[in-house]
Structure 1
Amino acid sequence: MAGKVDLSVCGRVCLLGEHSDWAGGYRRTHAKILPGRCIVTGTDQTLEATAWEHPNKLILTTTRDNGEVVGPWECDFRDEELLRVAKGGGFWSYAAGVAYQVKTYYPVNGLVVENHTTTLPMKKGLSSSAAYCVLIARAFSKVYDLRMPPRAEMEMAYLGEILTPSRCGRMDQCCAFGRVPTLMFFDGDLLQTEKIDPPKEPIFLVIVDLCAAKDTMEILSCLNKAYPVASNEIEEGVQKLLGEVNEKIVKEAAEVISQGDAKRLGELMTYAQEQFDKFAIPACPSQLTAPKLHATLTHPSIQPLVWGGKGVGSQGDGCAQFVARSEEAQGEV
């Protein structure tokens, strides 16, 4: 046993290819659906925690991004109790789901996790829930010397989160890789990852908190109605967006990132947003019309400073991302 261990997990931002992870997952039963692909990277914002062993309980304390401390919360470290909490939903369900999965595959006892510092915003498209799931998986790994590589942490985090009412795809847990640009492929249950070569020239990104709200579960529920078989023109459009349209954009984007071509990356982001609006808004207008997002993306004062931009994560009024024209412009935005 390792005694007390310190942990840090960053958030993730999906540069391009949002929603294609779960869409590609439908290939397990419907091979005509195209594989998903996306480009992700870690953020500067993190969850920081200390963890140690407990003989028979899961005990958690968390600090929200506004400084509010929640907990301690605890439950017995028994299969039926962990599964009950996970399926019941709510904030602690994520940790309970991950704990259940780790307990299933590894010889572990209970765990105490104190998440004492959080700079990662919640419900802003930066995968705060997935980061928390990875944090719990990593805590078990470090405390019990399980030596999980990042892919194993990702798997435990994903399997834990899908025990909850959340219906995430496999993209979000890439925060386990840290701040590394990564190309991800989703083909049914097969997940493949490929590191993107560092840009030859720096690319300056800006993430903007829109200080609004969105309902990710509602967005996922609406878009999932298009799968596995589209029943109308709107649903056909969603499949086209997350299939052939997305594939073309992400392929080119991976190349321009390694080349350090910020201008072209910004143009691709703007084009991706246009396509997303065209095909996805009709499927979920209540969340994806996103007036604050679109007002921010098109604000006249920003245009001279950026090459382009788009929504973040599941989209909606959570965050926006821009490719700045220079380091100085990044600071001005």
Structure 2
Amino acid sequence: MSAALTGLLAMGLLTASTRTADARQSPVELGEAEDCALMAGLAVNSTDLTRIAGDIGVSPGTIVTGFPPGEVLGDIHTGGGYAARAHADAVSAYQEARGRAANSSIPSQLGGRTLGPGVYASRSGAFQIDGTLKLDAEGDPDAVFIFRADTTLDTARVSNIDVVNGAQEKNVFWAVAGTVGLGTLSTFRGNILARNGIVVNEGVAMVGRAISLDTSVALTGTDVEPTTHITLPVRPPTSTTLTSSPNPSRLNEPVTFTAVVEGTFDGVHAGGKVVFRDGTTELGSAQLNGMGIATFTTDELTRGVHLIQAVYLDGGSAVHEGWVYFEPSESPVVQHQVLNRR
């Protein structure tokens, strides 16, 4: 799915106003719908220049129009077989997401807010994004965000969703009982599971999946590049290793932890932040240098054995004219021993 990675571009501003739902969730399983960037019960219709990095599925309907001039970096499935199974799995995913108990009931306007992991329900039944919504995983690469709307989800022109501190688009779910409209030139992240129609307007950049269970998905493309595009939430992979020196160390002796993050895309190395943890306690953090190395030094470890782990959280890396987010990763645990002073 290397072609899909080209769509992982980030735009927008950081926002304020933090509110955390304070509950860790397991991800919503998509089953055979996982490879579909677009899915509809009746039809997928595209106009002008659009790009879909992933499969398209339609079931029980069979209508797919606009490709070409639209481009599909995947397969098109209509009717029975795979499309029917993927659609059934998407329905199950929608029901699961809708069935999760909300940890927090919040106002409908999400723009200008920072939200942590959890399940959010709209007090009014609808969600809107005007401005930037920041999703903060708080250092947990497996953090799950679920938004339940009983009516609609709409985003304004040039609105944006930003993901920080380990948040990943694949773990963001929008379960909408009504319709969805993505505003012109907006950036959207996460998996839309809508009962009714989805409208993707001109110039939208979406990393996730647009799934209309009962009706259709309509995309309006552009006349020139960049296109309206939907990209599966597939990030360039990384791996993280950790060493400590000296090990063992003496009480109050400085210890340096060195994390090495392996991962490149189009010749660009993964960038961002590494958090160093002692069990569940965060010791500190450091930014990766150009060689993918981050170091942290402390002389405050207590006597005994410490279970140290480095967690790469990513911060976006500039690639050509855009930004690419790399997949977070965790190092194996290093047992670091602190002895008494000599």
TM-score (norm: length of structure 1): 0.26
Higher relative CO (CA 8 A, sep ≥ 6), structure 1 or 2?
1
TM-score (norm: length of structure 2): 0.26
| Bigger-Rg structure (1/2) | 2
